[in-house]
Copies of this chain bind each other. A is one copy, B any other.
Amino acid sequence: MTAEKTGLHSPVVDTARSPHARLRPVAVSRVALDGEFWGPRCERVATDSLPAQWAQLARTGRLDNFRRVTGVVKLPHQGLVFDDSDLYKWIEAASWCLSRRPDARLERLVGEGIALVEAAQQADGYVSTLYAVERAAERWTDLRDNHELYCAGHLIQAAVAHRRATGSDRLLRVARRFADLVCETFGPAGSGRRPGVDGHQEVELALIELYRETGESRYLEQARHFVEARGHGLLAGGRWGREYFQDHVPFRELDRMTGHAVRALYYNAGVTDLYLETGDASLLETLSRLWTRMVARQSYVSGGLGARHDGESFGKDYELPNAQAYTETCAAVGCIMWCHRMLAATGEARFADVLEWTLFNGLLPGWSLGGTEYFYVNPLEDDGGHRRQPWYTCSCCPPNVARTIASLPGYVYSTRGEDAIFVHLYAQGTARLELPGGRIAGITQRTRYPWSGDVELEIDAEGELVLHLRIPGWCEAGAASLHVNEAAEPLTLAPGSYVGLRRTWHPGDRVRLHLSMPVRFQESHPAVLENTGRVAITRGPLLHCVEGVDHAGVDLREVEVAPRQGLAEDWRPELLGGVMVLRGKARERLPGERWTGRLYRPYQGGQAPSGRDVALTAVPYFAWQNRTPGPMQVWLRASDGT
């Protein structure tokens, strides 16, 4: 029985009753994506990714860690201190899949996973396979490094998702008992409870979702306590200092994204949740400031975040190395989570713009086209050595990709008030939205997006409604047009905003949106020194790159494109699952023998080195490293030649 049929309310983040949400969520189960792009991907996560990940959970001892708590297996604890969270994220992902389609195998595995967690829960509600058996007495002794509350957060998030997606309270009961223990254990000075915050944020947003799911305000209060307690030096020391944990200053004093990227992004997602419930304007102000600066100074052209390998952290302003980009796949997930909440809080299209860009170019590259291999790190230039792997010792990314893709239908639409619908993402499929007043509106999107910017939306509703369509920020002014049935609608707003169509609808009305998708060359702010004189190629919402496999014998670092000449589109249905390839003439500079054995030489002025013509083939960046491994380059030298 799928959730739609049971009428379950299954939003990704439930801001349906949040007092300070501008937009209301649409249940995952209400939206089906079935087009050529997202359709197979939504399938693949259930049929390929999650079964393979379960096998990895089993193979690497993550499931046995739970079994040893109950004495079923007699093995030492295996793996890293936060490995429990991989099972929780897997359950979350699988639950979203189950909300969309029945799957007996997945349902059985989810049941097995939940049974492991139930059995491992202590009498007082505590769950952790690390602090079990011989280490039971060490509970809460290393909040900075050992991730107990982080794992608690993922357990809670999984339980909430499982309840929303399937209607079952089973894991939620476990999560509530653990959450109650957390609430009884940690509190502000004078409360008689312990001080302390987790080194890795996650429990904050989970507790707020648990509050939303249960109505129990103590969870909200506990989340607020954890947010307010951070920034006061509870996490002193460590290799990278307090900034790594965002514990160097209280939240409202942060002026830039700093420290471990995933922690920072989960933190901000949680604080946005706190704003959505409390309306504390100083939080939203800080969030907005941080987001704006991050986008203007710390984001890769892929949307990737967290430039540094060292500390898996945000770099300084404009510190965006390409070959050494860290840009953890989980940071893309964190960015999507944060943007999604900011969108709910503000209704501003800029958050949907970054969400979409990060989805296509920050997250998707982390997932192989086959669905079973993942990047942890996402460079924008590579010598051919970078590979996706089926699993990692620290394997946060694979289940994080899975839960995002599995819940993607929940990101496509929102509603506002009793009569407004927002379309954030363009993706072929059908939706039956329930508006707060109880009206049902059906929307069928027909589109080849992201390959084409033509989207037809067929509306199945009667009466007055406002349909808000996002004109993406990647669109150039004047490059979008809109028709309702056969009549053109004026489009006066700048790209990066929602155009609102207020009218009386009749079943079968058709809206046709055209977003022109020319090939474009992007340059970066001059302070990104590495990109001086270079361009990146984009088309619509997709970043492109060049790969060695398409350019045998060519040194990609020396390839020079002439933006004025442009590139031609070439739809290749057989390639990489079907991609739009961009082709054109380029030149390979041949620096020649003068450099043999030398790294530096006296400046020889603007002498153009000799070169030779090469045929350029640019593929979508998300699809790179799915063929014969080889070098890859996003930023190419630009010449002004015509």
The chain A residues found within 8 Å of chain B, CB to CB, are 292, 295-297, 299, 301, 308-310, 315-319, 321-324, 381, 383, 476, 520-530, 532-536, 557-558, 563-564, 589, 591, 595, 597-606, 609, 635, 637-638, 640
Q: Is the Cβ of B599 less than 8 Å from the Cβ of A383?
A: no
Asked, given contacts A321-B324, A526-B589, A529-B557, whether A603 binds B309 with beta carbons under 8 Å apart, the answer is: no
In the complex, which of the residues B321, B526, B563 contacts A558, with contact meaning CB atoms closer than 8 Å?
A: B526
Task: Determine the distance from Cα of A410 to Cα of B533 in the docked complex, in whole angstroms.
Answer: 47
**Minimum Cβ distance to chain B for residue A499 (Å):** 22
Q: Is the Cβ of B600 less than 8 Å from the Cβ of A525?
A: yes
Q: Is the Cβ of B526 less than 8 Å from the Cβ of A640?
A: no
Top-5 shortest CB links A-B:
A309-B310, A521-B603, A606-B640, A530-B530, A523-B603
Q: What copy number does this chain have within its complex?
A: 2
Name the B residues within 8 Å of A323 (CB-CB): 316, 319
**Minimum Cβ distance to chain B for residue A227 (Å):** 27
A sample of 16 inter-chain contacts (CB < 8 A) reads A308-B309, A308-B324, A310-B310, A319-B323, A322-B529, A520-B603, A522-B601, A522-B602, A522-B603, A523-B604, A530-B530, A532-B532, A532-B533, A532-B534, A533-B533, A564-B605
Name the B residues within 8 Å of A308 (CB-CB): 309-310, 324
In the complex, which of the residues B296, B322, B600 contacts A522, with contact meaning CB atoms closer than 8 Å?
A: B600
Task: Determine the distance from Cα of A455 to Cα of B533 in the docked complex, in whole angstroms.
Answer: 43
Q: Is the Cβ of A605 less than 8 Å from the Cβ of B536?
A: no
Q: Is the Cβ of B292 less than 8 Å from the Cβ of A597?
A: yes
Task: Give the most central of A536, A563, A605: most B CB within 10 Å.
Answer: A605
Asked, given contacts A324-B321, A383-B316, whether A602 binds B520 with beta carbons under 8 Å apart, the answer is: yes
Q: Is the Cβ of B599 less than 8 Å from the Cβ of A528?
A: yes
Since A526-B558, A529-B530 are in contact, a sample of 14 more A-B pairs with Cβ atoms closer than 8 Å, ordered by chain A residue number, is A292-B597, A295-B599, A296-B599, A318-B599, A324-B324, A381-B529, A476-B602, A520-B602, A521-B602, A523-B600, A526-B589, A528-B599, A532-B637, A535-B603
Residue on B nearest A591 in the bound complex, by CB: B526
Residue on B nearest A522 in the bound complex, by CB: B600
Q: Is the Cβ of A600 less than 8 Å from the Cβ of B536?
A: yes
**Minimum Cβ distance to chain B for residue A122 (Å):** 32
In the complex, which of the residues B319, B524, B557 contacts A324, with contact meaning CB atoms closer than 8 Å?
A: B319
**Minimum Cβ distance to chain B for residue A76 (Å):** 16
Task: Determine the distance from Cα of A528 to Cα of B532 in the docked complex, in whole angstroms.
Answer: 12
In the complex, which of the residues B321, B522, B558, B599 contacts A297, with contact meaning CB atoms closer than 8 Å?
A: B599
Name the B residues within 8 Å of A296 (CB-CB): 597-599
Name the B residues within 8 Å of A381 (CB-CB): 529
Task: Determine the distance from Cα of A599 to Cα of B307 in the docked complex, in whole angstroms.
Answer: 15
Name the B residues within 8 Å of A533 (CB-CB): 532-533
Name the B residues within 8 Å of A523 (CB-CB): 600-604
Task: Determine the distance from Cα of A599 to Cα of B528 in the docked complex, in whole angstroms.
Answer: 9
Task: Determine the distance from Cα of A321 to Cα of B321 in the docked complex, in whole angstroms.
Answer: 8
Task: Determine the distance from Cα of A549 to Cα of B322 in the docked complex, in whole angstroms.
Answer: 30
Name the B residues within 8 Å of A292 (CB-CB): 597
Task: Determine the distance from Cα of A221 to Cα of B307 in the docked complex, in whole angstroms.
Answer: 46
Residue on B nearest A637 in the bound complex, by CB: B532
Name the B residues within 8 Å of A309 (CB-CB): 308-310
Residue on B nearest A322 in the bound complex, by CB: B529
Name the B residues within 8 Å of A609 (CB-CB): 526
Task: Give the most central of A530, A535, A558: most B CB within 10 Å.
Answer: A530
**Minimum Cβ distance to chain B for residue A306 (Å):** 13
Name the B residues within 8 Å of A532 (CB-CB): 532-534, 637
Q: Is the Cβ of B297 less than 8 Å from the Cβ of A557?
A: no
Asked, given contacts A296-B599, A605-B563, whether A526 binds B557 with beta carbons under 8 Å apart, the answer is: yes
Q: Is the Cβ of A525 less than 8 Å from the Cβ of B598?
A: yes
**Minimum Cβ distance to chain B for residue A323 (Å):** 6
Residue on B nearest A638 in the bound complex, by CB: B603
Asked, given contacts A309-B310, A323-B319, A324-B321, whether A525 binds B603 with beta carbons under 8 Å apart, the answer is: no
Name the B residues within 8 Å of A525 (CB-CB): 591, 595, 598-600
Task: Determine the distance from Cα of A23 to Cα of B595 in the docked complex, in whole angstroms.
Answer: 31
Q: Is the Cβ of B599 less than 8 Å from the Cβ of A557?
A: no
